[in-house]
């Protein structure tokens, strides 16, 4: 989240006033594989000198991941994923984002064992320093790099395991000379045993007299090899199943702080193996042994202090050897597949594996879990989003990792509402994995959710409460300017909540979406596949598929409805895009036969302050017509699905965050998480108006404001003026004035603590509307 890989598009369009406007576009993404811990499959682990860990993790299937540094005191993750940094590996290559091991060099840089090569990273520089070496740009054979270590001379050694996409062997790289060496199956250079074609682990032990020895764990049991830096020769160790022979290295980090090498040794045919260590002077020591079942199934090992070590096995119980005795430090989580162990300077133990990572507090003995469920964007199929007045993004979770619920994102931290939050979030006490709809009410700040088929419930920081009488299934939620909560259900289902009860409103068809009307107080728009309806609960304005000659009522359907200003509403269909003028009851129809619109299957998503309707053309018959489109009344624009841009055209929800120089479109792209299109506007070629007395919203002062602000405007002629306050997402918050004014300058005072117009601190839009003029500016309430 600290760094964004930007895909930039720049082109010119005309807006309604025909001024020339330059738009800058950039994309960023939030998925399970590039936020927080970067996935529920965590392998590589390295404790930095500041006590904070680097954790490498990934999301299988999607092949997104990389590594993160976790700043525990801030509960903040600094992410380096292949979504933002493709140099880590392509999402189309299995294993490309997976990192098995990390080690720090004397210069402070970090070397990583990737599943398709070797990565190098300089923390002082950041993501731009990332380098990758694989089979296409080095002698690395392209297989899975299982282990990596740095020799005293600064050279890099890597153990590579042969897999379907690449070969294995032992790799040596000297950064000083950029020289590579590879020993694999068939090689005999430096006395390499030619039948060894794959390696699993290695450790480098410094010799007392200078130089070093590389211990290599080859393929299978009893395949141990050593390399002497002085003789530059390999030696295949005895493999006779006799007592004292080295069977295998215990893991990736087998050299403790005193230079001792830890290994698994034979104690004789039919006897248990022994965990021993070899001193730099060449003496083997057999310390007290852990329980036999631990030795029989070692998943992760870490040599630590002076002949001290950590170990974990099949049941994920972590054991620590303090130099004299083995002590259990508890089970970090149930199940197998633990991959990494490390310990910080204070004695806190970290572990990684399937199901994330965990930290054991040395004082309390408590294991704190870290997963995508409490640190990351939880799901690739986000069904619904909402953005509140403080700028928090609320989104549903739909059992992507087997755990549903919903989430809040404040721009830095992800807070999970699910049963696997491990104390870093809130619970989700419903018998379902999925949340279908979510909405934060502007009037009281409560979050309204629809757990799948469980009706509507509210959350108000104190807990959950039910909204009895609501539909079991919701297709959309909104609150009108009078504070009434509206719920669009499935078939023939529309209702609003007022005075602790629901009132049914007639609607025809299966619910598609619901939105606030931007012009009329207490009014909403709802859309089904059959009907678009504007209603205040008493009176309504309706159109059905029978009202449009371009549609066949027997086969054609409507998609979604998006209101604009001045009584204009946009809605889509499987045949094209409609612009309906409710004032004179006329409409315009845009399709591939009469316009430059991309595709015929159109689903409107959002109407933005620059007068553009945004839509997706997913489902259109031609693949090159599938993407994200916009229309400003004159020109059409289009973003196709492509790398570095729109990740998927099946967009189920869109929300808008207004900024000072433009806005952001938050798009829920099914199967690809959240994509954000940042639209920056720079208007050029606009000259000062010839008539200085034209309608102008002069200023709001003070801004930012604590409680009061003066809103100044002028009128060239007498007119009816509506001055309203909206949230940054376009939700009506308050009506300040709605009456006739004479020509001239006027000042309207707004008191944010007034009962009728009271708002919480946050960002708002104030909009003035006359019969001929509309203008908006941003307000910040402190």
CB atoms within 10 A of CB 324: 10
Q: Pick the most confident of 663-667, 759-763, 768-772.
A: 663-667
**259's torsion region: left (phi>0), alpha (psi -120 to 50) or beta?**
left
Of the listed ranges 55-64, 107-116, 222-231, 767-776, the least confidently predicted one is 767-776
Contact present, 587 and 578 (Cβ < 8 Å): yes
Cα atoms in the 13 Å half-sphere on the side-chain side of 111: 24
Chain segment 130-169, per-residue pLDDT in tens: 999 999 999 999 999 999 999 999 999 999 999 999 999 9
> What does the pLDDT read at residue 685?
38
> What does the pLDDT read at residue 766?
84
Band of the pLDDT at 221, cuts 50, 70, 90?
A: low
Element (H, E) at 437: strand 435-440
Strand pairing class (524-528; 636-640): unpaired
CB contact set of 692 (below 8 Å; sequence gap of 6+): none
Tokens of 103: 């080690």
- Which residues, listed in sequence order, are joined to residue 693 by a DSSP beta bridge? none
Band of the pLDDT at 719, cuts 50, 70, 90?
A: confident
CB atoms within 10 A of CB 286: 11
pLDDT(49) > 70: yes
CA of residue 632 relative to chain centroid, distance = 30
Peptide bond into 109 cis (omega under 30): no
Phi first, then psi, for residue 211 (nearest 5°) are: 80, -175
End-to-end Cα, the chain, rounded Å: 26
> What does the pLDDT read at residue 400?
65
Contact present, 679 and 608 (Cβ < 8 Å): yes
pLDDT(1) > 60: no
Tokens of 207: 């010799």
Look at residues 578, 668, 652 and name the one whose alpha carbon lies nearest to residue 619. Answer: 652
pLDDT(598) > 90: yes
Contact present, 210 and 223 (Cβ < 8 Å): no
- Which residues, listed in sequence order, are joined to residue 181 by a DSSP beta bridge? 172
The burial class, CB within 10 Å (0-12 / 13-18 / 19+), for 159 is buried
- Which residues, listed in sequence order, are joined to residue 516 by a DSSP beta bridge? 524
- Which residues, listed in sequence order, are joined to residue 465 by a DSSP beta bridge? 458
Peptide bond into 704 cis (omega under 30): yes
> What does the pLDDT read at residue 590?
97
Give 63's DSSP letter: T
> What does the pLDDT read at residue 711?
83
Contact present, 52 and 99 (Cβ < 8 Å): no
H helices within 250-394, ranges in order? Answer: 292-296, 372-375
Look at residues 169, 173, 165 and name the one whose alpha carbon lies nearest to residue 118. Answer: 173
pLDDT(19) > 80: no
Cα atoms in the 13 Å half-sphere on the side-chain side of 589: 14
E-strand spans in 32-88?
A: 41-47, 53-59, 64-71, 76-81
* DSSP helix/strand/coil, 673: coil
782 versus 684: which is more confidently predicted?
782
pLDDT(777) > 80: no
């Amino acid at each position: 989240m600290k760094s964004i890989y930007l895909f930039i598009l720049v082109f010119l369009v005309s807006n309604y006033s025909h001024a020339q406007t330059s738009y800058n576009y950039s994309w960023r993404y939030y998925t399970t594989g590039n936020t927080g811990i970067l996935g529920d499959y965590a392998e590589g682990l390295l404790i930095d000198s500041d006590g904070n860990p680097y954790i490498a993790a990934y999301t299988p299937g999607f092949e997104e991941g990389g590594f993160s540094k976790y700043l525990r005191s801030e509960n903040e993750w600094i992410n380096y994923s292949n979504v933002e940094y493709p140099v880590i590996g392509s999402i189309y290559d299995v294993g490309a984002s997976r990192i098995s091991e990390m080690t720090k060099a004397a210069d402070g840089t970090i070397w990583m064992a990737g599943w398709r090569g070797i990565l190098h990273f300089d923390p002082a520089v950041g993501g731009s320093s990332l380098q990758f070496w694989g089979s296409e740009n080095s002698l690395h054979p392209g297989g899975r790099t299982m282990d990596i270590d740095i020799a005293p001379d600064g050279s890099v050694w890597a153990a590579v395991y042969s897999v379907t996409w690449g070969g294995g062997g032992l790799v040596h790289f000297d950064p000083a000379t950029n020289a590579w060496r590879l020993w694999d199956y068939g090689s005999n250079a430096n006395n390499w045993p030619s039948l060894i074609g794959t390696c699993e682990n290695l450790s480098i032990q410094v010799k007392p007299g200078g130089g070093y020895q590389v211990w290599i764990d080859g393929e299978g049991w009893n395949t141990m090899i050593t390399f002497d830096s002085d003789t530059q020769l390999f030696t295949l160790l005895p493999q006779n199943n006799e007592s004292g022979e080295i069977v295998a290295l215990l893991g990736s980090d087998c050299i403790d702080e005193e230079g001792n090498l830890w290994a698994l040794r034979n104690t004789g045919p039919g006897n248990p193996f022994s965990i021993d260590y070899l001193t730099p002077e060449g003496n083997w020591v057999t310390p007290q042994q852990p329980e036999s079942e631990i030795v029989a199934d070692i998943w992760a090992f870490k040599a630590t202090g002076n002949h001290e070590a950590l170990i974990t096995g099949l049941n994920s119980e972590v054991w620590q050897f303090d130099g004299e005795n083995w002590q259990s430090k508890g089970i970090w989580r149930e199940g197998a597949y633990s991959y990494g162990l490390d310990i910080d300077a204070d004695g806190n133990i970290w572990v990684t594996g399937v199901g994330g990572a965990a930290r054991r507090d040395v004082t309390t003995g408590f294991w704190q879990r870290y997963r995508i469920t409490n640190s990351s964007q939880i799901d690739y199929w986000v069904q619904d989003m909402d953005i509140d007045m403080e700028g928090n993004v609320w989104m549903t979770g739909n059992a992507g990792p087997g755990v549903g619920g919903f989430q809040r994102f404040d721009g830095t931290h992800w807070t999970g509402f699910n049963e696997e939050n491990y104390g870093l979030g809130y619970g989700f006490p419903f018998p379902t994995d999925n949340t279908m709809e979510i909405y934060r009410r502007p009037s009281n700040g409560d979050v309204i959710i629809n757990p799948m088929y469980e009706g509507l419930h509210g959350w108000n920081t104190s807990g959950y409460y039910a909204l009895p009488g609501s539909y079991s299934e919701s297709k959309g939620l909104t609150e009108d300017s009078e504070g009434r909560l509206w719920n669009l259900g499935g078939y023939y289902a529309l209702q609003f909540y007022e005075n602790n009860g629901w009132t049914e409103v007639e609607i025809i068809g299966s619910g598609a979406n619901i939105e606030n009307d931007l012009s009329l107080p207490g009014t909403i728009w709802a859309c089904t596949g059959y009907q678009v309806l504007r209603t205040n609960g008493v009176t309504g304005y309706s159109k059905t598929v029978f009202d449009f000659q371009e549609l066949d009522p027997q086969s054609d359907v409507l998609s979604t409805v998006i209101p604009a200003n001045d009584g204009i509403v946009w809605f889509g269909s499987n045949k094209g895009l409609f612009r309906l003028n409710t004032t004179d009851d006329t409409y315009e129809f845009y399709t591939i036969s009469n316009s430059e619109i991309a595709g015929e299957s159109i689903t409107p998503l959002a109407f933005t302050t620059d007068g553009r309707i945004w839509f997706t053309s997913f489902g259109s018959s031609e693949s090159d017509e599938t993407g994200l489109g916009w229309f400003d009344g004159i020109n059409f624009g289009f973003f196709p699905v492509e790398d570095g841009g729109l990740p998927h055209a099946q967009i189920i929800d869109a929300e808008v965050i207004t900024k000072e120089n433009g806005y952001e479109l938050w798009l829920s792209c099914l199967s690809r998480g959240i994509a954000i299109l940042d639209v920056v506007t720079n208007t050029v070629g606009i000259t000062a108006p010839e008539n200085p007395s034209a309608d102008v919203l002069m200023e709001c002062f003070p801004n930012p404001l604590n409680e009061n602000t003066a809103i100044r405007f002028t009128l060239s002629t007498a007119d009816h003026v509506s001055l309203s306050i909206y949230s940054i997402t376009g939700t009506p918050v308050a009506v300040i004035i709605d009456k006739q004014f004479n020509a001239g300058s006027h000042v309207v005072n707004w008191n944010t603590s007034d009962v009728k117009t009271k708002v919480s601190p946050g960002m708002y839009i104030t909009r003035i509307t006359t019969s001929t003029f509309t203008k908006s500016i941003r307000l910040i309430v402190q």
